[in-house]
Amino acid sequence: MEAVATMRADNASLRKIQSKLVQWELKENPLAPLSATQSDFINCLTDLANGNVPASAGNTPVADDNKDHAADEELPASLEKFKQSACVIDSTQNFLSWYNSIDAEILEHFDDVYLEYYEQLRSRTNECDQMLQEIDVSLDSLRQLTQEFNFVSEKTSSLHQASESLLQDQTRLSDTGDEIKKRLKYFTQAESISQRLHNPTFSVSNDTFVDILNTIDDCIEYMRVNPSFSETSTYAVKYRACLAKATQMMKTYVFGILSNATAQVLAPKGSGAPRSLEALDQPKIGDPTADAAFVLFYGKFQASSPRVKRITGLIEDRLDRSPDYEQLLGELHQSYLTQRATIMRSGVDQAIKDLAKKHKGDHCALVRSACAFMVHICQDEHRLFFQFFAKHSAQLIIYMEGLCTILYDTLRPYIIRIDHLETLAEICSILKVEMLDEHVSYSPESLEAFAKIVYQLLQDVQERIGFRAQNYLESDIRNYRPSAGDLAYPEKLEMMESIALSLQENQHPPHQLRRADSRSSITSGMSLVSLDTTPPTNDPALKVRSGNSPADLHGMWYPTVRRTLVCLSRLYRCIDKSIFQSLSQQALAHCIYSVSMAASQISQNRTTIDGELFEIKHLLILREQIAPFRVDFTAKETSLDFSKVRTAAYELLQKRKQLFSLGSNNALLEFLLDGTPQVREQLLDSRKDVDRQLKMVCETFIKDATKQLVGPVLTFIEAAQNHLRNHPGGGKTAAVAGAGPAVTPAATTASGQSTGMALRMAPFAAPQQISSIIQECVRNIKSKLAGLQRSMQLYLANKDTEFILFRPIRNNIIGSFVKLEQILMLNAYTKDDLTIVSCPSAEQISVLLSSVNLAGGSTAEQPIASFGSKVQPMRKISTSSSIGSNAAETQSVKAPIEKKVSFDSGANTVLEIERIEAPEVEKGEEALVDIREAVTNQPDQPTSQSN
């Protein structure tokens, strides 16, 4: 049994081995994959083992390479040996042994091919060595030929060099002879030139004079360059003497021509020649006087200019050769300008005096004509100078400054006596714009001297303007005393409004209405009524609103505002930026003060509302009109703070015993360290001053308007709060009163009933008294609101501005009634008391305000909710000042309100103010934003009092 089991195990193991061997050569995923070459070897071995010689054994292709050929020859021998051997491969071990022997044999014969290739390389190396030996022999032959060639070349080159040396010697000797002749020429011409210059018949106008002058310059330059030559200094002296003679001849020649021309001008032939230069000032075509004056003062010199220009041209071309020419040219310039000054000074002086007599009393015409005259003189003198000379001269500027100084000396006494700012500003504009910016910039070279004098004159004018402007701002703006007509507000506006209505009715019949007639709110999206869809109206206020406001007219401005803006507009283009900033600071400060004083007087004469609206309108105008000035209205003021000095001095007196202390507590040292005054810098901004004043006036107007409409309610709220605050336990009730809409009457009764009853029992807080207060406020709203809005329309004439100012007033009115209702509900008032009081709700007040606004003061046409209606219990009450939403207004007032503007809308608005420069109404978004900020920052009237 054991044998059977062993046999079975062997068979199983054998089958397992066979299965593994079969898996070696599977087509898919074999365990021992063989390459194609290995497969061929195995097949070949199999055939040989079986005794079958493959048919292709004798037909093995012969490769070109010797390695393949040797392998084909050795492989059959090994196989043959294996075939002849008696060993039989019957196991794997025998096969591996046989395979190792075959592999060792193959490795043994593997290097045969390389050894054969090595032998071939050795043979090729021997051949190369033999070739190199032959090359060395050839190179030796070439070196020998090169040496022989170099020897022949050296002999030939030496022959050529000897020939060239002989030719160079010949040329050098020839050049030396020519150079000697050339240099001797500079020494041999001295005598001949001297003789010709001293010849009495020889003249500067002779054509050969130029050649002689060139020869003298060349000889002098040669002597300077070659000081080592024999007798150079002697001949240099001779040629300098010749040059001095030539320059003297040229100077005499030019002086004679200039003197002759001057004599002809000063003593002209004939008696009809003019003796004044005034005719040259803006000459007319065909004017015989102007032509004769020009011929007299310039024609004679122009006729002499070609002869002088020929000589001055020779001198100017030689300025870099000798300082004698520079000196000569300077003398000629001086002589020419002296002759011209002799002619022109008296003539210019007399001409300007004649102009002063001609324009006596008209300073602007005098300055314009005198400056124009000097412009022509300077241009003519500049042109005439360059007809004689080609190069510029500093003496010409000095000469022309002397002529222009006559203008300065004549005009300055007139300028320092002028008191009118308009005249000074116009003169400044003439000097700065017409003269400097136009004439001088067009021809700066010819008018350089004129520009200097005009600039000095301009500085004098600007200094005078600054002085007069300060006096003007102090006397005519700050200390302005208005007349009764200046303060006749709103009568002046109403009169101008009626005039505008009559003119508008005459130009446009009542049945014609055009969109172009409306200018009150061009860019606003909240226009009153669309002019294309609304039928004509006969309301005078609405008709006036379609045009410009009377307050927007330049002539209707308060005189100090108009004077301030006109003064600034005149000064803006006349004086320097720094001076203008300082004057603008003073002007705006004085103007704000003057407008404020006028508003106070209007408030005393008429009403507070009129004074405040007057000030608001003119501050808006002032702010809008200073916007175009592209300057910084901020000024820096530096001051010394001596507060520490006083403190240090006091401490020094307290520490007298430590004055001479040698320690760190020396009182004198502490005084020096701590008593140094501090430098403080403060920035003053005039624009912000205007904005600050505008904001303050707007806040005051809102407060006064609210008090005018609901003053009794505000007084009662203040009295009630004071009563609650002064009553024992009132602080708690007051805190409850300010707790907001979450507090109910029941809670109030539980926590502070006694205090609430105390307010209820107060005589001034009786329901009948509160009812009368409410009725009085309602009557005020019905009777005074239309007048308030009418005043705003009359002064401001811009719906957007009116809307911005009226919105906080409306919110304060609603908030006051809301606060009153809170006090009533939180202080133990019964339902019967509330019925007696009849306090209107926020929605009812909103409807009332809208109806009064739409009816223009007549509330009979617009019904409102009854104030005696039953109060809804447990209604939440908001303390916000902006109660009265658009939805509530839409439900209460439907068709009429939809056609009008809602005061709760938040449209982007644009303020329109008329400028000085243009009659059209322009936008003032910045001013509108400031008003918006002013009224937005205005605290709620009842809320502030309750706090």
pLDDT tens, residue by residue, 596-633:
999 999 999 999 999 999 999 999 998 888 888 766 55
Would you say residue 278 has pLDDT above 80?
no
Predicted pLDDT of residue 335: 92
Select the more confidently predicted residue: 730 or 824: 824
Would you say residue 869 has pLDDT above 80?
no
Would you say residue 916 has pLDDT above 60?
no
Q: How many helices (H) and strands (E) does the chain have?
A: 34, 4
Predicted pLDDT of residue 906: 31
User: Which parts of 51-111 fold into alpha helices (H)?
Assistant: 66-84, 92-108
Which residues, in sequence order, are CB contacts of 504 under 8 Å at separation 6+? 517, 543, 546, 547
CA 558, 560, 565, 566 dihedral sign is positive
Please state, in angstroms and rounded to a whole number, the distance separating the CA atoms of residues 581 and 585.
6
Please state, in angstroms and rounded to a whole number, the distance separating the CA atoms of residues 550 and 556.
7
3-class secondary structure, 922: strand
CA 650, 651, 657, 658 dihedral sign is negative
Predicted pLDDT of residue 387: 92
Where residue 12 falls among pLDDT bands split at 50, 70, 90? confident
Where residue 331 falls among pLDDT bands split at 50, 70, 90? very high
Lowest mean pLDDT across 260-264, 316-320, 710-714, 739-743? 739-743
Lowest mean pLDDT across 374-378, 459-463, 664-668, 821-825? 664-668
Predicted pLDDT of residue 679: 58
Would you say residue 185 has pLDDT above 80?
yes
Lowest mean pLDDT across 178-187, 455-464, 871-880, 898-907? 898-907
Predicted pLDDT of residue 321: 86
Predicted pLDDT of residue 704: 93
How big is the CA angle at 414 (ends 409 and 419), to the nearest 5 degrees?
A: 145
Predicted pLDDT of residue 549: 56
Where residue 736 falls among pLDDT bands split at 50, 70, 90? very low
pTM of the full structure? 0.58
Kindly state the average pLDDT of the residues 379-400. Answer: 92
Please state, in angstroms and rounded to a whole number, the distance separating the CA atoms of residues 132 and 118.
21
Would you say residue 128 has pLDDT above 90?
yes
Would you say residue 519 has pLDDT above 70?
no
pLDDT in tens, 391-437: 888 999 999 999 999 999 999 999 999 888 889 989 998 998 889 88
Where residue 668 falls among pLDDT bands split at 50, 70, 90? low
Kindly state the average pLDDT of the residues 771-779. Answer: 91
Kindly state the average pLDDT of the residues 771-783. Answer: 91
Where residue 280 falls among pLDDT bands split at 50, 70, 90? low
Select the more confidently predicted residue: 733 or 20: 20
Where residue 54 falls among pLDDT bands split at 50, 70, 90? low
**What is the number of other CB atoms lying within 10 angstroms of the CB of residue 687?**
17
Predicted pLDDT of residue 746: 35
Select the more confidently predicted residue: 456 or 554: 456
Q: What's the CA dihedral at 272, 277, 282, 285 to 10 degrees?
A: 20
Q: Which of 679, 678, 680, 670 is nearest to 649 (CA)?
A: 670
In whole angstroms, how large is the CA radius of gyration of the chain?
Answer: 60
Where residue 734 falls among pLDDT bands split at 50, 70, 90? very low
Most confident of 239-243, 536-540, 554-558, 876-880: 239-243
What are the C-alpha distances in Å from 31 to residues 20, 25, 95, 243? 8, 7, 19, 123
Please state, in angstroms and rounded to a whole number, the distance separating the CA atoms of residues 25 and 34.
8
Kindly state the average pLDDT of the residues 228-253. Answer: 89
Select the more confidently predicted residue: 893 or 45: 45
Would you say residue 922 has pLDDT above 50?
no
Predicted pLDDT of residue 515: 33
pLDDT in tens, 784-815: 998 898 999 888 888 888 899 999 999 999 99
pLDDT in tens, 23-53: 777 777 777 777 778 777 888 887 777 766 5
Lowest mean pLDDT across 93-102, 235-244, 708-717? 93-102
Predicted pLDDT of residue 63: 41
Residues of the chain with pLDDT > 70: what percent?
A: 69
Select the more confidently predicted residue: 229 or 69: 229
Where residue 920 falls among pLDDT bands split at 50, 70, 90? very low
Where residue 13 falls among pLDDT bands split at 50, 70, 90? confident
What are the C-alpha distances in Å from 728 to residues 41, 225, 820? 127, 121, 21
The answer to whether 458 touches 484, Cβ cutoff 8 Å, is no
Amino acid at 199: N
Would you say residue 520 has pLDDT above 80?
no
Kindly state the average pLDDT of the residues 160-181. Answer: 88
Kindly state the average pLDDT of the residues 529-543. Answer: 38
Please state, in angstroms and rounded to a whole number, the distance separating the CA atoms of residues 165 and 125.
58
Where residue 647 falls among pLDDT bands split at 50, 70, 90? confident
Where residue 762 falls among pLDDT bands split at 50, 70, 90? confident
Which residues, in sequence order, are CB contacts of 632 under 8 Å at separation 6+? 581
Would you say residue 914 has pLDDT above 70?
no
Kindly state the average pLDDT of the residues 79-92. Answer: 66
Predicted pLDDT of residue 51: 65
Q: Which of 637, 662, 552, 513 is nearest to 914 (CA)?
A: 552
Would you say residue 927 has pLDDT above 90?
no
Query: How high is the mean pLDDT of the chain?
Result: 75
